[in-house]
Structure 1
Amino acid sequence: MSPSPALAAPWPSRLTAPAAVLCGLGQALALAPASLPGLQLLSLAGLLLLVVAGRAGTGRAAWLGLLAGTGWMAGSFWWLYISMHDYGGLAAPLAALAVLALAAALALLPAAALALWQRARCGLPVPDAVLFAALWLFIELARGEWFTGFPWGASGYAHTDGVLATAAPWLGVYGVGAVAAGLAAWFAGESAAWLSGGRERRIALLLSALVLGAAGWAPAWRGHDFTVAGTRLSVSLLQGNVSQDEKFSAERLPEALDWHLQTLLAAQTDLVVAPETAIPLLPAQLPEGLWQTLTAQVARSDRHVLVGVPLGDFERGYTNSVAGLGPAGTPPYRYDKHHLVPFGEFVPRGFRWFVDAMHIPLGDFTRGPLIAPPFRVKGVAVAPNICYEDLFGEELAARFVGAPEDVPGVLANVSNIAWFGRSVAVPQHLQISRMRTLELQRPMLRATNTGATVVIDHRGEVRHALPAHRRGVLVGEVEARTGLTPYAVWAGRLGLWPAWAFALVTIVWRLRRRSLGIRFDTH
């Protein structure tokens, strides 16, 4: 089969730039709260069709990728503006410029992917689709791991409620995104062949359209259960709803602290979870004897408590932590956050001036270990993670390769994203947690300051939820799981190296075939 001929007329060049931006925004809009897998596929296919149908050269393809990537990134995390301007005190123009600059910098990755794809593709839909899937996988891995990683808005999250989520326990979110990219490229290739006059390709175009439609709009199907049910726990999840500008104020702090402490002591469930920095002060900074009284009262009960609190001292450093308390005889428990947020929890070298300008409190933390022991609640291993950490499924998977008794049965995320106000950051973070439950087939408890406070089962379904931006306590039940998904096995032992290897081998192989002049036709 020979490559399709070029189109009879070039795509109107005046339309390609705004169309590319719209395609990028489509990637962002496909995420929560809308959750539209079909839009993610169509917008990506549309971008590739702009490259092919417009006869774009390498430079033009890169430019379209940069425009689309900037729209995608800025549309995904525009709410960073709120943290920098509303709470950080950065001037509005500088905050907006900072978000746009970060988006444009990250957009260099899709720009490079489109340029390389346009240069190396052979014109045949299926081989070109495989190449683009590998390139897309490469750039999403790069964004997720380079410079500590910022994978927010990865394309695979748009498929949390779609058919492609069936691949999550096998391939993880990056694999889901790569499959989606391959399908979009296949459809774009068949469409370009049909537009160029290849009428004999109508059946192939129809087939690709049907597959794309099924992947984007068919009812969700979760696939096989790799895990089995275990012990059930009753849980209470606290949502204090403390605005970020009031969190450390002398007027609001005592009341908010008292509510968290009184509420967790009044709970009657097996496990009580309070959000990240629910206690925003070091234990030594609390009123005299308060921490000791809390510990003693929990020890006299039959409940277990996980509460977010900063720990440490000047000599050993400070940590963003979760403290675990339990009945008498329960060993002391402490989880220290491992994957810190750049600028929020540690200052990258050369950027101290920026953090000082934003006046962010608690700016420098010490990193905890990657593999931390779980907190045991009535025989169930509960593995905490703090806020941003649940973006990194491979790091959570690393906890599944230890001794059997240390393999988590339940995941617990404690978060405070009040930094981002009433923005889409709340439903987006919930979508991220749901993808982790699909990858690892473990339920996730989310105790957050402003939302979303929920109980998610091992199949990504929200079983109990509190309305966001309201104070309250969510009482529910969670079912622990045992067993491992394929993703937990390979990502837990090898990290993302298998995905890197697939992407690199495929790209190098295709580029080498191209340089040697090897064709894919059968004539």
Structure 2
Amino acid sequence: MPHSNSKCWDFCAPVAGILFALAFAPFDYSFFALLALAFLFACWQDISAKRAAMRGYLFGLGSFGSGVSWVYISMHDFGGAGALGSSLLTGLFAGFLALFPALAGYLSVKITPINNGALRFILMPVVWILVEYLRGYWVLNGFPWFQIAYSQLETPLAGYIPVCGVYGTGFIAALSASIAVEIFQIAARCDISLLSHYSYRTSLREVHRDGPLKNLPPLIMLLAVLWGAGDLLRNTAWTYPIGEPIRAAMIQGNIAQDQKWRPENKINTLLKYKRMTEQYWDSNVIIWPETAIPAYLDQVNDTFLVPLGNDAKQHKTDLIVSVPVHDADPDKKYNAAITIGKEEGMYRKIHLLPFGEYLPLQPLSGFVLDMVNIKLGNFTPGVINQPLLKAGGYPFVTLICYEDAFGELSAQGLPDAAYLVNVTNDGWFGDSIEPYQHMQMARMRAIETGRFLLRSTNTGMTGIVSPNGEIIAQAPLFQETALTGTIIPMGGMTPYARWGDRPVIGGAVILLLGLIGYRRFFRMAY
């Protein structure tokens, strides 16, 4: 095996990044995430901080360059940009995201004293998860794609999700990779030359006690405990049924994104959704996808939605409809979801999509997008702690588009909310891997909250997800259809829903500060 200073590690870093991307949907090779991260941790050892940053950047180029290639489809096929401009912006986006694993590598080496393996073993997972949090929650309003926990929904580590969420589970996954590296390195050092230091009368127990092998049993035991406890936690029921099943129908209109907002198609679109809805008046809840109505609320309310709501009342059904809304202030507009029928209410989207629903880094971002001829929306975020919408007799948490990528946002309405509803439109990304990745993230929210999730999309993937993250029903991609099924309203709180990300992130920060303090003491002592 080449030394970590070898250039071979540099060339392998982007390959490891591609393997990391294959751990996520739709490929779902979960083990690749741990393997790739173990490689990264190993190649960050005994090198300079700058070299570690370079390898982290190459790793990021491999993972994000292959995993978010759907950005090109969104810009070129539906955003109106040319092939060159779309390629350039997609490359810049992947290059920007690659800065985060580069930062993790730089900090891991900068903070760790050279050759202090015990400190590296703990530090690298801590730094990794804090950088994930930085990328997933703060920078550019958060981009939580490819956080390692999402790759572990089918492994024993999924048991930790309702306890400590995406970041806590991600830390345990990263720690597992770090432990594996340490075990491998100890085993590699304990070759036959070790035995030459002992007489033939020396017992194996003495070799374990005095040599490098003494650290193996605790590490193996720790790894076994982490995974065994996760497996046991998977069988723990954190929430409980509180009522009779709710019959639900999710309408998947399958309207191509390049046709969706054409004025000549508006009437046909409204009639399609009305016709499909009328076939399912026996449902308690009917859900339309994000911006199913290609017009603002005030343009269709009196002539279309009010009569439709009256029909819903007659059939004792609640409709959840997504529609853009003008505010009394002409400079404000919202991406919203409303309920009509037995219950009436409105939710205004809180967490907006950067470069899709608003433009960060102004005026630079607007200037660049104007150059490549991409015109995007400019919505206003809704206020936090809006009243919960109600349908089917129970309140629910509303998540519009990629709001389902943020765990604490999903838990804000608990314990009052009995289920989750996600309305989205992945039609922007065509026949790519993005809809699969998005569904994988939505499944995490069901596990974190211990609630059923009803997910209605324009072109797919419409689905029903159980509280343990299992997809119990799913509509095919790019097909006009209605997915029907039943869910059970749930009560109670998972530990994650009660405490959120604060304990994990706060604990990681404290641990990091302690490790930095230990580094200073280590330098002074030696």
Shorter-chain TM-score above 0.5: yes
The residue matched to 1:246 in structure 2 has which SS?
helix
The residue matched to 1:285 in structure 2 has which SS?
helix
Classify 1:91/1:108 alpha carbon distance in 2 versus 1 (closer, same or farther; 3 Å).
same
Within a 5 Å distance, the mapping from 1:212-223 to structure 2 comes to 222-223=234-235
Deviation string for 1:300-336 (max 9, x for gaps)?
Answer: 2200000111112472521111110123xx3x31111
Deviation string for 1:109-167 (max 9, x for gaps)?
Answer: 22122222223335465542221121011101100122311111111100011111111
**Cross-structure match for 2:439:** 430
Deviation string for 1:438-464 (max 9, x for gaps)?
Answer: 111111100001111111011111111
Q: Distance in 1 between the 2:392 and 2:288 partners?
A: 19
Question: Which of 72, 89, 93 is the matching residue for 2:80?
Answer: 89
Question: Which of 322, 331, 340 is the matching residue for 1:325?
Answer: 340
Q: Distance in 1 between the 2:169 and 2:484 partners?
A: 33
- Determine if contact 1:30/1:40 at 8 Å carries over to the other structure: yes
Classify 1:261/1:202 alpha carbon distance in 2 versus 1 (closer, same or farther; 3 Å).
farther
Name stretches of at least 5 consecutive residues in structure 1 with no aligned partner: 1-6
Structure 1 residue 352 displacement after superposition: 1.9
Q: Distance in 2 between the 1:435 and 1:506 partners?
A: 26
Classify 1:361/1:449 alpha carbon distance in 2 versus 1 (closer, same or farther; 3 Å).
farther
- Structure 1: which amino acid aligns with 2:187? W
Classify 1:444/1:186 alpha carbon distance in 2 versus 1 (closer, same or farther; 3 Å).
same
**Cross-structure match for 1:512:** 517
**What is the TM-score when the length of structure 1 is the normalising length?**
0.89
Corresponding position: 1:228 with 2:240: yes
Question: Which of 364, 367, 378 is the matching residue for 1:364?
Answer: 378
The residue matched to 2:488 in structure 1 has which SS?
strand
**What is the TM-score when the length of structure 2 is the normalising length?**
0.88
The residue matched to 1:324 in structure 2 has which SS?
strand
Corresponding position: 1:241 with 2:234: no
**Cross-structure match for 1:263:** 276
Question: Which of 404, 409, 423 is the matching residue for 1:414?
Answer: 423
- Determine if contact 1:88/1:358 at 8 Å carries over to the other structure: no
Classify 1:408/1:288 alpha carbon distance in 2 versus 1 (closer, same or farther; 3 Å).
closer
- Determine if contact 2:427/2:459 at 8 Å carries over to the other structure: yes
Q: Distance in 1 between the 2:373 and 2:467 partners?
A: 40
Question: Which of 102, 114, 129 is the matching residue for 1:137?
Answer: 129
Q: Distance in 1 between the 2:321 and 2:376 partners?
A: 18
- Determine if contact 2:284/2:318 at 8 Å carries over to the other structure: yes
- Structure 2: which amino acid aligns with 1:86? D
- Determine if contact 1:226/1:484 at 8 Å carries over to the other structure: yes
Q: Distance in 2 between the 1:35 and 1:309 partners?
A: 34
- Structure 2: which amino acid aligns with 1:440? T
Structure 1 residue 214 displacement after superposition: 9.1
Q: Distance in 2 between the 1:137 and 1:443 partners?
A: 27
Structure 1 residue 236 displacement after superposition: 0.3
- Determine if contact 1:318/1:366 at 8 Å carries over to the other structure: yes
Name stretches of at least 5 consecutive residues in structure 2 with no aligned partner: 195-210
Q: Distance in 1 between the 2:321 and 2:214 partners?
A: 58
**Cross-structure match for 1:190:** 183
Identity %: 30
Q: Distance in 2 between the 1:262 and 1:356 partners?
A: 39
**Cross-structure match for 1:70:** 61
Within a 5 Å distance, the mapping from 1:40-439 to structure 2 comes to 40-52=33-45, 55-121=46-112, 123=115, 127-146=119-138, 147-197=140-190, 200-201=211-212, 211=223, 222-231=234-243, 232-267=245-280, 268-286=282-300, 289-313=303-327, 315-316=329-330, 317-327=332-342, 330=343, 332-348=344-360, 349-350=362-363, 351-357=365-371, 363-400=377-414, 407-439=416-448
- Structure 2: which amino acid aligns with 1:499? V
| Count of matched residue positions in the alignment of Structure 1 and Structure 2 | 499
- Structure 1: which amino acid aligns with 2:397? A
Classify 1:378/1:79 alpha carbon distance in 2 versus 1 (closer, same or farther; 3 Å).
closer
Q: Distance in 1 between the 2:371 and 2:349 partners?
A: 25
Q: Distance in 2 between the 1:451 and 1:357 partners?
A: 32
Q: Distance in 2 between the 1:517 and 1:214 partners?
A: 29
Classify 1:205/1:43 alpha carbon distance in 2 versus 1 (closer, same or farther; 3 Å).
farther
- Determine if contact 2:289/2:425 at 8 Å carries over to the other structure: yes
**Cross-structure match for 2:197:** none
**Cross-structure match for 2:201:** none
- The Cα RMSD (Å) is 2.7
The residue matched to 1:289 in structure 2 has which SS?
helix
The residue matched to 2:170 in structure 1 has which SS?
helix
> Larger radius of gyration, structure 1 or 2?
2
